[in-house]
Amino acid sequence: MDSQLPPLVPGTLYLVATPIGNLEDITLRALRTLRECDVVAAEDTRRTGQLLKYFGISRPILSCYRFNEARRSEELLERLGRGEKIALVTDAGSPGISDPGERVVRAARRAGRRVECVPGPCALVAALTASGLPATEFHFIGFLPVKSGQRRRLLESLLPVAGTLVFYESPWRIEKLLGELAELLPDSTVVLARELTKKFEEILRGTPAELLARAQQRPLKGEMVVLVSRAATSRGPAEETEIDGVEAVNPNLAVGSH
């Protein structure tokens, strides 16, 4: 089959989405791109090394993370200029969404290099589609600033915005976010999508205060997406859904876990 597909194009930066937990979620095209590229640029070389090893792929890996992405972008541009085929992967999900992929893509586009997307898993899309909240209009905020004043100002600026709000949040700050939402949007419906596609996948729904009480009772761990809706159709009796997760092929290799 593979031999009938067109080969990778020299001088192209391929944005390869990788699983957010369940290794079975990798696409056939992602595997072929990783197998056929000249080099893999990765946010975490150890983690990507594990992923490649799991799929029996052996390619050189270059590190490209938040603190070296400016310098590394230059090197990647030079390599693309020499006709290399580069696969860019981040720790999990779609490169370019709240991770170092964005800057590299911008640099490549500015330099007139070819950029191709190899789409696949994305935590934002997985959470939004499973949430049951309105998805016709949604606003992706990503990670909020860490500093309280900046967070507050950003959250306040979102009050008039219609549609479902989608945040990425760390387990260390989840109670803080739920507290802020309880103050600013007490009547909203919040869905907290945790450890998606992993063994302990869980989707919780409630008002900000209900979920805060829940988090204070039993700390919420792992990776999570927080979705907030003010639409009347989202409301209803406080409801909580726990979903049995689909077990990862090998939970130790779950690339979405920290």
Footprint of ligand SAM on this chain (CB under 6 A)?
20-21, 90, 92-94, 97-99, 122-124, 168-170, 193-198, 223-225, 256
Nearer Cβ to ligand SAM (84/243): 243
Phi, psi of 40 (to 5 degrees): -105, 125
Nearer Cβ to ligand SAM (84/102): 102
Cα separation, 220 vs 223, in Å, equals: 9
Q: Please tell me whether residue 157 adopts helix, strand or coil conformation.
A: helix
Nearer Cβ to ligand SAM (101/134): 101
Q: CB within 8 A of 241, min separation 6: which ones? A: 203, 204, 205
Nearer Cβ to ligand SAM (19/233): 19
Q: CB of 217: closest distance to ligand SAM in angstroms?
A: 20
Cα separation, 65 vs 42, in Å, equals: 7
Q: CB of 257: closest distance to ligand SAM in angstroms?
A: 8
Q: CB of 209: closest distance to ligand SAM in angstroms?
A: 22
Nearer Cβ to ligand SAM (68/233): 68
Cα separation, 123 vs 196, in Å, equals: 8
Q: CB of 169: closest distance to ligand SAM in angstroms?
A: 6
Cα separation, 141 vs 84, in Å, equals: 34
Strand intervals (E) in 132-241: 138-143, 164-169, 189-194, 202-206, 224-229
Q: CB of 83: closest distance to ligand SAM in angstroms?
A: 28
Q: CB of 116: closest distance to ligand SAM in angstroms?
A: 17
Nearer Cβ to ligand SAM (93/206): 93
Cα separation, 223 vs 168, in Å, equals: 8
